[in-house]
């Protein structure tokens, strides 16, 4: 399939814009990056631009014809409120600044397709002026992309009502893409979407991670320990280190990737403990090419974020998932459904207890788990192929209207 035959807007090659609000973690940026890479690979003439608030966007490599614009960062305080990450502006001011930058980028880049990740109205409604602008112009298709699990239905419904997200979804978006399978979980369950909006939902399958060239893995064998971005990974990392400290015979050795958001003081404490384990656990802070570590691992211990779950499936790795349960149940819902299907093993706080002994048992049991590919097949990982086909269809339709 090629997008190259779809020459939009005065005969030019396709332009695809991604909005990724990124107030916390790496998930939104990494998902947008994977989608952009797939779409520009499907059509080497297409270009993609990612608008992101991630403070570590510049530490990633981007494929040819994919670039990013860094929006001023925001951070979430302990009380749930937000503040500017670095610049000396109030949250209302920085939101207005971000909103203006988004609209300017849209006007200048003039995309054929805008794909919005997770938040229909953007961070604190910052996307609404751009959606209004695009709704009054012609040509740009608006896509809302949702991960497989958002939150508990009742909690999500209240959140979307507060953000007026239902109204925005109904009014602005031509299609809704769910990056998962309805047979596993429906993230829109509990949302009062109209039949018309529900008819615009496309279940893409999960987004396969790139299985292309990877570097030489570390010395074999090892298990990979990854808390994703690391901002909420302290408890899981502590649990793994405690397991290796308590059981001197626990094997294989572990390669730990802290993630860029694990705080410095906590990481210093962990570094001291890692050093005392004399090579049974080794650690790095951030690995932009974590695919290499996944490819070589005998198993994985991780949290339950969407992107890490996709990597577990894509690299077909036996995994123990330790999901967070605050501030939302998203990871627990994903992990529990995946465990029921036989895709992973979950370490559940209420059922198993988060103790060194429970982690020791889980690591020792890893070789006995089935591979994910033994549990489920079909179109589980067809997401990238599905969305590139959808882009092709959308651009073809516009082409037909323009020439009809």
Which residues are CB-neighbours of 324 under 8 A, at least 6 positions away? 232, 235, 303, 304, 331, 332
The total of other beta-carbon atoms located within 10 Å of residue 120's CB is 25
CA distance 123 to 312: 29
The total of other beta-carbon atoms located within 10 Å of residue 90's CB is 10
pLDDT band for position 7 (cuts 50, 70, 90): very low
Question: What are 26-61's pLDDT values in tens digits?
Answer: 667 889 999 999 999 999 999 999 999 888 777 778
**Secondary structure letter of residue 304 according to DSSP:** -
Question: What are 95-147's pLDDT values in tens digits?
Answer: 999 999 999 999 999 999 999 999 999 999 999 999 999 999 878 999 999 99
Kindly report the length of the chain. 404
pLDDT score recorded for residue 220: 92
pLDDT band for position 400 (cuts 50, 70, 90): very low
pLDDT mean over 58-77: 87
CA distance 305 to 322: 10
Which residues are CB-neighbours of 129 under 8 A, at least 6 positions away? 99, 103
Residue that has been written with the tokens 């779809």 in this structure: 6
Residue that has been written with the tokens 């297409």 in this structure: 46
The answer to whether 237 and 259 have CB atoms below 8 angstroms apart is no
The total of other beta-carbon atoms located within 10 Å of residue 158's CB is 13
pLDDT score recorded for residue 401: 39
Pairing of strands 175-179, 66-70: unpaired
Question: What are 76-97's pLDDT values in tens digits?
Answer: 776 767 888 888 899 999 999 9
- Residues of the chain with pLDDT > 70, as a percent, come to 92
Q: What's the CA dihedral at 156, 161, 163, 165 to 10 degrees?
A: 80
Question: What are 241-265's pLDDT values in tens digits?
Answer: 999 999 999 999 999 998 877 777 8
The yes-or-no verdict on residue 381 having pLDDT over 90 is: yes
CA distance 308 to 299: 13
pLDDT score recorded for residue 26: 67
The yes-or-no verdict on residue 236 having pLDDT over 70 is: yes
CA distance 52 to 73: 9
Identify the residue with better confidence: 64 or 286. 64
Question: What are 302-361's pLDDT values in tens digits?
Answer: 999 998 999 999 999 999 999 988 888 999 999 999 999 999 999 998 899 899 999 999
Tell me the pTM.
0.90
CA distance 362 to 345: 8
The answer to whether 188 and 201 have CB atoms below 8 angstroms apart is yes
pLDDT score recorded for residue 228: 78
The answer to whether 209 and 311 have CB atoms below 8 angstroms apart is yes
Beta strands per DSSP E along 204-272: 222-226, 253-257
pLDDT band for position 280 (cuts 50, 70, 90): very high
The yes-or-no verdict on residue 155 having pLDDT over 90 is: yes
The answer to whether 112 and 104 have CB atoms below 8 angstroms apart is no
pLDDT score recorded for residue 230: 66
The yes-or-no verdict on residue 8 having pLDDT over 60 is: no
List, in order of start, the domains of the chain with CATH numbers.
15-208+382-403 (3.40.50.2000), 222-375 (3.40.50.2000)
pLDDT score recorded for residue 399: 47
pLDDT mean over 367-383: 89
């Amino acid at each position: 399939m090629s997008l190259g035959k779809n020459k939009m807007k005065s005969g030019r090659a396709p332009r695809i814009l991604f909005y990724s609000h990124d107030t916390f973690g790496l998930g939104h940026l990494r998902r947008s990056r994977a989608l952009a890479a797939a779409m520009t690979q499907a059509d080497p003439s297409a270009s993609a631009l990612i608008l992101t608030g991630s403070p570590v966007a510049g530490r990633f490599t981007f494929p040819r014809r994919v670039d990013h614009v860094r929006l001023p960062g925001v951070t979430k305080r302990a009380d749930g409120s937000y503040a500017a990450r670095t610049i000396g502006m109030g949250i209302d001011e920085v939101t207005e600044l971000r909103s203006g930058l988004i609209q300017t980028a849209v006007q200048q880049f003039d995309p054929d397709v805008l794909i919005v990740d997770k938040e229909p109205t953007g961070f604190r409604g910052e996307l609404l002026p751009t959606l209004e602008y695009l709704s009054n112009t012609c040509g740009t298709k608006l896509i809302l992309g949702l991960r497989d699990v958002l939150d508990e239905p009742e909690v999500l419904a209240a959140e979307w009502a507060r953000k007026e997200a239902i109204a925005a979804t109904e009014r602005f978006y031509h299609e809704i893409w769910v990056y998962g399978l309805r047979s596993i979980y429906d993230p829109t369950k509990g949302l009062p979407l109209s039949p018309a909006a529900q008819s615009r939902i496309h279940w893409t399958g999960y987004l396969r991670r790139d299985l292309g060239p990877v570097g030489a893995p570390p010395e074999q064998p090892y298990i990979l320990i990854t808390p994703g971005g690391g901002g909420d990974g302290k408890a899981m990392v502590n649990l793994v280190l405690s397991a290796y400290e308590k059981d001197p015979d626990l094997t294989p050795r572990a390669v730990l990737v802290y993630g860029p958001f694990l705080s410095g003081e906590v990481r210093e404490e962990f570094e001291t403990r890692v050093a005392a384990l004399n090579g049974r656990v080794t650690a790095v802070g951030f690995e932009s090419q974590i695919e290499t570590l996944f490819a070589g691992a005998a198993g994985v211990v991780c949290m339950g974020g969407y992107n890490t779950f996709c990597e577990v499936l894509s690299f077909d790795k036996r995994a123990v998932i330790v999901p967070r349960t605050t501030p939302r149940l998203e990871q627990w819902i994903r992990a529990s459904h995946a465990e029921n299907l036989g895709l992973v093993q979950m370490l559940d706080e209420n059922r198993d207890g988060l103790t060194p002994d429970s982690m020791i048992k889980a690591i020792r049991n890893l070789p006995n788990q089935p591979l994910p590919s033994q549990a489920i097949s079909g179109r589980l990982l067809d997401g990238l192929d599905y969305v590139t086909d959808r882009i092709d269809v959308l651009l073809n339709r516009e082409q037909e209207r323009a020439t009809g």
